């Protein structure tokens, strides 16, 4: 009987320690999940900022192209009068060349930002996948924790029942009930086996 009580106490202590470990792991998982969520929000904000920059650059490009077309039209319309002013014409062409170069530079920046957005979207997708994995792990641990708590509750109830039977056995020690005690011990062993398998 004392050996059975000691086994039950050891089992309860082991379950309590495992429960504390699970709670610690759950808290750690929650903190990691919150950190992933914060990173996700930060990356999402970066994407939004980049999209605004791209929109602004696109608008600048359109305005610049409009100005460039207008400048070329003026050049064609004034071609005859500008022949006499060759120096002014060369200066004007230089301005157009500068505008073209500026436009190509903006195109390059636009392409670079588009590449960065593609990379950020991929990173966000990876973060979302990691977040889902951690959520699945958290659900699995929560299910395991509930199973352990139920097992611990059953073990405590069994311990209380055994203690009550022990009190009755002490009171009735003048009339030993060996058959009843053996059956009780057998039931305890069966329940311990079930709890261990869970």
Give pLDDT tens digits for 30-83.
888 888 888 888 888 888 888 888 888 888 888 888 888 888 888 777 777 767
Output b/e per residue, 113-147; b: 16+ Cβ within 10 A.
eeeebeeeeeebeebeeebeebeeebeeeeeebee
Find the domain containing 98 and state its range.
Answer: 2-197
Note the pLDDT of residue 180.
Answer: 52
Q: Using 50, 70 and 90 to split pLDDT, how confident is the model at 179?
A: very low
Percentage of residues of the chain with pLDDT beyond 70: 83
Q: Using 50, 70 and 90 to split pLDDT, how confident is the model at 191?
A: low
Q: How many domains does the chain have?
A: 1
pTM of the model: 0.31
Answer whether residue 190 shows pLDDT above 50: no
CATH number, domain with residue 76: 1.10.287
């Amino acid at each position: 009987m004392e050996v059975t009580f000691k086994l039950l106490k050891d089992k309860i202590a082991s379950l309590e320690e495992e429960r504390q470990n699970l709670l610690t792991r759950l808290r750690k998982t929650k903190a990691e999940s919150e950190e992933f969520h914060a990173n996700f929000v930060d990356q999402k904000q970066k994407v939004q900022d980049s999209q605004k920059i791209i929109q602004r650059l696109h608008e600048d490009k359109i305005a610049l192209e409009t100005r460039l077309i207008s400048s070329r039209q003026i050049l064609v319309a004034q071609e005859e009068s500008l022949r006499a002013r060759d120096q002014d014409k060369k200066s004007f062409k230089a301005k157009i060349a500068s505008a073209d170069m500026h436009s190509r530079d903006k195109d390059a920046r636009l392409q670079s930002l588009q590449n960065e957005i593609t990379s950020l979207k991929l990173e966000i997708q990876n973060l979302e996948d990691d977040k889902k994995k951690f959520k699945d792990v958290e659900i699995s641990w929560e299910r395991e924790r509930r199973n352990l708590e139920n097992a611990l509750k059953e073990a405590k109830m069994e311990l209380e029942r055994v203690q009550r039977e022990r009190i009755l056995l002490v009171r009735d020690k003048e009339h030993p009930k060996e058959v009843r005690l053996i059956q009780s011990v057998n039931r305890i062993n069966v329940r311990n086996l079930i709890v261990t398998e869970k």
